[in-house]
């Protein structure tokens, strides 16, 4: 396998973002706290080489970051929203300058393909552009009062500190979805990235600080606290953090949601997905195969929107199955920074074991592995994190199919009769993030999109489950958590809503015609 990136290239990127061999794990912008806690070593799943290490933040570090954030909020909330938007515009321009290097770092540290790494940085740029426009559109409403000489309206105010807990699979994009909107809304942010991808978080903090410092943004508007679940627990239980946005597993989300709910805080949860594509008899196979394959193997199946299930009409089942198997034979697996490869590694060996365990459980329940299912060894695969994407014939009621496995395993199953039977199968899992239907039938597509159709937060027609534009609100239902991020009116979750009534008359009439004479 040809070497695509070498140690010199990596060191140049690390130097550009001021990432050292040993890094501190907490920052309020320009200031880095120097606690010498547990060492978190970032090891690339591409080649098993250590990249750099980070000292995990302590509880004292967390406290210092929160206090600085509280102080910064008092000033930042008073900046006019369009002025805040101008800062975010400049951040988007700075990300454009760093897109290639940051995209390479994302790919190397996380293991996704270079094109996906670059695409993730592009998502950051796009949400900055969206946020700039939003900074002049934080609209409220006006209402007519039932009382003469009165007027009513609604307005939105910033919440304060927004805590962000992100996952390894999108180590920078999800952070930007939250921060770009929170910042233009007047909030400040504290980020706990995945401890599996700490270096990309440090790079983002350095880029942001460069822009913020040039604009006189108060230190503490962008906070970073790197550590394990204990940092997330501190954040979830902290009454000073009115909103916690958490992306990850359903298990993690239940823990965060319970802790935040116990103090009557707000949570924005983006959790597990168990996403399906329904393939009807009228589907165009030229669209089905690439949509299903990319959805299943993109990011090595480590997207919350990855396609986990194909629900195929029995009349075309054999044709679709055979086309998929043939397409999987053409997949190139290897170094994700080589653009000739389609599939990179899983994040670590623990993920590989989950992949193997899931396949074993599927077989034990009666599933039939028709391609893939093995760990790759030999030259180019020394990290032990490369696996063959698998296709497994299964039934929706299998216990393993009911759960999300963060790996490239695609379960395929038959349905008979009308599309309502396929929809019933699709909805028959605890998760409700993304869904799709491949069809040329107007009736079937409209049934899928109706209130009796897909129960997911995202429902697509003739595209796959994976990949979302920032203009739409992103999120799902059921065990996916119910949160919404990114576009549309998702900005409202980062603000507190206030109804205002103004009496400009000379009397004090009460609502509902109540009389109270003294």
Radius of gyration of the chain from its Cα atoms, rounded to whole angstroms: 25
Identify the H or E element spanning 359. helix 349-364
Token pair in block for residue 16 = 């550009």
DSSP state, residue 365: T
Kindly write down the DSSP assignment for every residue of 276-331, as one continuous string.
EEEE-TT--HHHHHHHHHHHHHGGGG-STT-EEEEEEETTTHHHHHHHHHHHHHT-
- Within 427-480, strands assigned E span 431-432, 434-438, 458-461, 473-474, 477-478
The CA distance from 481 to 479, in Å, is: 5
CB 220 within 8 A of CB 29: yes
Give Cα separations from 404 to 104, 168, 479 (angstroms). Answer: 28, 16, 11
In whole angstroms, what is the distance from residue 243 CA to residue 182 CA? 10
Catalytic residue among 128, 185, 204, 304: 304
DSSP string covering 135-150, please?
A: TT----EEE--SSTTE
Provide the CB-side half-sphere exposure for 300 (13 A, CA): 35
Q: What does the alpha-carbon distance between residue 487 and residue 154 come to, in Å, rounded to a whole number? A: 21
CB 12 within 8 A of CB 98: no
Query: Alpha helix (H) ranges present in 185-225?
Result: 198-214
| Long-range CB contacts for residues 2-5, cutoff 8 Å, separation at least 24 | 2/338, 3/335, 4/335, 4/337, 4/338, 5/104, 5/108, 5/337
Of the residues 120, 219, 270, 479, which is catalytic?
270
| CA separation, residue 278 to residues 299, 312, 350, 445, 461 (Å) | 22, 6, 31, 10, 10
CB 345 within 8 A of CB 351: no
Regarding beta strands 275-279 and 266-270, do their DSSP bridges make them parallel or antiparallel, or are they unpaired?
A: unpaired
> Residue 54 is inside which H or E element, if any?
strand 50-55
Contact partners, residue 262, CB within 8 Å, separation at least 6: 237
C-alpha 186/C-alpha 188 separation (Å) is 7
204 is catalytic: no
Give catalytic status of residue 393 as yes or no: no
- Residue listed under structure tokens 């949570």: 267
Catalytic residues: 270, 304
């Amino acid at each position: 396998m040809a070497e695509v990136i070498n140690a010199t290239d990596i060191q140049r990127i690390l130097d550009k973002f001021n990432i050292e061999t040993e890094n501190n794990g907490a920052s309020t912008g320009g200031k880095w706290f120097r606690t010498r806690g547990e060492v978190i070593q970032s090891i690339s799943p591409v080649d098993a080489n250590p990249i750099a290490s980070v000292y995990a933040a302590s509880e004292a570090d967390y406290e210092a970051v929160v206090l600085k954030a509280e102080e910064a909020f008092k000033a930042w909330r008073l900046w006019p929203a369009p002025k805040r938007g101008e800062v975010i515009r400049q951040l988007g321009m700075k990300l454009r300058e760093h897109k290639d290097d940051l995209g390479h770092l994302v790919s190397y540290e996380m293991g996704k393909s270079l094109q996906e790494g670059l695409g993730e940085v592009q998502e950051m740029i796009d949400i900055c552009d969206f946020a700039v426009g939003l900074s002049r559109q934080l609209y409220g409403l006006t209402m007519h009062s039932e009382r003469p000489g009165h007027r009513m309206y609604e307005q939105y105010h910033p919440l304060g500190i927004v805590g962000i807990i992100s996952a390894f699979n999108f180590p920078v994009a999800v952070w930007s979805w939250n921060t770009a909107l929170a910042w233009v809304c007047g909030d400040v942010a504290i980020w706990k990235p995945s401890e599996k991808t700490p270096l990309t978080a440090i790079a983002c903090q350095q880029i942001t600080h460069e822009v913020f410092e040039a604009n006189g943004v108060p230190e503490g508007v962008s906070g970073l606290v790197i550590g394990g679940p204990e940092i997330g627990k501190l954040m979830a239980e902290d009454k000073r953090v009115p909103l916690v946005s958490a992306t990850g597993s359903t298990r993690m989300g239940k823990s965060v949601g319970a802790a935040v709910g116990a103090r009557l805080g707000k949570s924005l949860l983006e959790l597990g997905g168990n996403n399906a594509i329904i393939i009807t008899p009228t589907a165009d196979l030229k669209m089905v195969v690439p949509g299903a394959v990319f959805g299943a193997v993109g990011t090595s199946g480590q997207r919350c929107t990855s396609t986990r299930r194909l629900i195929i009409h029995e009349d075309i089942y054999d044709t679709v199955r055979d086309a998929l198997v043939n397409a999987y034979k053409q997949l190139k697996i290897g170094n994700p920074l080589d653009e000739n490869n389609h599939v990179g590694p899983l994040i670590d060996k623990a993920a590989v074991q989950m992949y193997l365990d899931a396949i074993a459980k599927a077989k034990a329940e009666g599933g039939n592995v028709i391609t893939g299912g093995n760990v790759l060894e030999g030259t180019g695969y020394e990290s032990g994190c490369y696996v063959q994407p698998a296709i497994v014939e299964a039934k929706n009621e299998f216990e393993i199919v009911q759960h999300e496995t963060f790996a490239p395993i695609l379960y395929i199953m038959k349905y008979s009769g009308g599309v309502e039977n396929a929809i019933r199968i699709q909805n028959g899992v605890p998760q409700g993030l993304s869904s799709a239907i491949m069809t040329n039938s107007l009736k079937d597509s409209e049934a899928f999109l109706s209130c009796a159709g897909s129960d997911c937060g995202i429902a697509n027609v003739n595209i796959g489950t994976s990949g979302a534009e920032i203009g739409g609100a992103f999120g799902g239902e059921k065990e996916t958590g119910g949160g919404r991020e990114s576009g549309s009116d998702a900005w409202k979750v980062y603000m507190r809503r206030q109804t205002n009534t103004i009496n400009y008359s000379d009397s004090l009439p009460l609502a509902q015609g109540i009389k109270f004479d003294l």
